[in-house]
Structure 1
């Protein structure tokens, strides 16, 4: 899955999105902090390819994007909106193909601007990035070619505190950045930084009123942070493969960025540091049971501002959840299977 698949709805309840074969399931709390309902199918009976992208708007609505088979040898993107955890997500609606027709071109990414408009990004057949965005009053704008070359799988979309949408993508020898210069504008290609990026490891986070930060693992195994205008900064050795999950939270009165990743040991590893102060350093602390190799992790904040971590193993469908204890530091409650 691309993006944070653990979400807090506007009613305070948590919800997760679980790929399952050729469909997507969703599960939600029956009440904030309470038991969880049984899995249910998201978006109707449409069959999907693997590779779900999830984005959350400031309004608490979740936007889901995936590829579906259309005719033999071709695929198209579909989109669904989930307004409330206790409601079913809307049926999948087709939004087309960046090259009009053809097979799947890459894993999509989705971000939602301050007006609640989803922006869907995907690699196109030419190896660049294409985008399609919702109109504020309904419907979708046309596909737009944002240029680029040699874009790799799983770009990372993010909405800054300004409400403007940004995108990061791994390209040969570096990371390329696109950003909106004003609300509703087409994102334009900005800076590129030189870095040896492991494919599929990008995750982006809004870290201040002025900046977003992208995290990635380089070829040496270091987990790095980069903000346009500076250079990538190694934080610590990556705990394991794949992207980290990231969330901003307050720890003992300090604005911190919390990272989570499945460690090589199989357990969940957590690391926190003062937001945008990478030189302060960070270190991993492991928590919970050993998890299957395909486990993905996601972080969010509950309605009380407490960190919630979830771990999902698609091969087994097993979902584990924990919350931060109501005490100083970053101690977590016992993991619970839901």
Structure 2
């Protein structure tokens, strides 16, 4: 999944979304704090999907899912579904078109939801630039827009700032591009580019203050870096493993902190925390839990009590493991258990 796939719904229940063959599945807690549903449910009906779905969540707690689906031989189109509550069925997949009107899949989509609850879907177009389609305020979808850019790689990171405005980061050869909404309801514009080596498939963005978001990525040397537009990228610490990090803001011992998690090269989950936007304070990895399959990914969220929850999921095995922060100082975690 492109985006955080462990989400807390507006009813306090946690849910996880996982791609499975030609579908997206969802499992949810039966009540806040568990236990979990015994088996996952299919999202959006019986339409067959292409690999690489995306998920985003609005301030209202609704999950928005986007995926490619085959339309005819050699062609595909994007579809969208909204999931209002984890224990309810998601809406059926609805076609939202193609950035080039027709053709095959052009790249992995990304989705962010603005302060008014409107989904914004981003995807690379066949010319190598970035295209976007957004929901209208009163239903339906706006026309597709070309947001410019060139040589955009498949790796996109969409995020909504605390202002409710949508932002998008993309990797290009030797650098990063950044788009931001100037006003609610307006399309994001390309505001900044920075030269930096980026390892494909490692972008993850997080809202870190009232007017700023932070992009985390791994550079060619293997360092996990942080970049906020208007500044220069900062190497935070050596990456624990090859994949993307998950990131969440949380309160640790009374301090606003950013917590990172990643499957480490040893196969376990590595955690690192530091004061939000204070990369100079440094961060260190601490590993937790059992060894995981090589395709396992990690996602972070907070529960309705504000406690950090971490989940790991392996597409090859379907095994879901979870842990929560203990009610004690520091980042002590409960024993990992199956969901």
TM bucket (normalised to shorter chain) is over 0.9
Deviations 1:194-246 (A, max 9, x none): 10000110000000001000000000000000000100000000000111000
Deviations 1:57-86 (A, max 9, x none): 000000000110110000110100000011
Aligned with 2:90: secondary structure? coil
Q: Distance in 2 between matches of 1:243 and 1:181?
A: 28
Q: Distance in 2 between matches of 1:95 and 1:67?
A: 10
TM-score by length of 2: 0.99
Q: Distance in 2 between matches of 1:88 and 1:155?
A: 28
Q: Say how many residue pairs are matched.
A: 338
Kindly state the Cα deviation for residue 273 of structure 1 after the two structures are TM-superposed: 0.4
Aligned with 2:72: secondary structure? coil
Residues 26-65 of structure 1 mapped to structure 2, 5 A cutoff: 26-37=26-37, 38-65=39-66
The yes-or-no answer on 1:129 pairing with 2:118 is no
The yes-or-no answer on 1:83 pairing with 2:84 is yes
Residues 298-313 of structure 1 mapped to structure 2, 5 A cutoff: 298-313=299-314
- 2:327: which partner in 1? 326
Q: Distance in 1 between matches of 2:146 and 2:207?
A: 24
Aligned with 1:289: secondary structure? coil
Deviations 1:17-40 (A, max 9, x none): 011111111000000002111211
- 1:114: which partner in 2? 115
- 2:2: which partner in 1? 2
Q: Give structure 1 regions of 4+ aligned residues with deviation exceeding 6 angstroms.
A: none
Q: Distance in 2 between matches of 1:102 and 1:299?
A: 35
Give the CA RMSD over aligned residues.
Answer: 0.5
The yes-or-no answer on 1:162 pairing with 2:163 is yes
Q: Distance in 1 between matches of 2:62 and 2:283?
A: 32
- 2:230: which partner in 1? 229
TM-score by length of 1: 0.99
Q: Distance in 2 between matches of 1:8 and 1:15?
A: 6
Residues 1-338 of structure 1 mapped to structure 2, 5 A cutoff: 1-37=1-37, 38-338=39-339
Aligned with 2:209: secondary structure? coil
Aligned with 1:279: secondary structure? helix
Q: Distance in 2 between matches of 1:83 and 1:16?
A: 14
Kindly state the Cα deviation for residue 154 of structure 1 after the two structures are TM-superposed: 2.2
Of 263-272 and 35-44, the range deviating more from structure 2 = 35-44
Kindly state the Cα deviation for residue 10 of structure 1 after the two structures are TM-superposed: 0.2
Deviations 1:233-265 (A, max 9, x none): 000000001110000000000000000000000
Kindly state the Cα deviation for residue 172 of structure 1 after the two structures are TM-superposed: 1.2
Q: Distance in 2 between matches of 1:77 and 1:154?
A: 17
Q: Distance in 1 between matches of 2:310 and 2:154?
A: 25
Which stretches in structure 2 are left out of the alignment for 5+ residues? none
Q: Distance in 2 between matches of 1:251 and 1:193?
A: 32
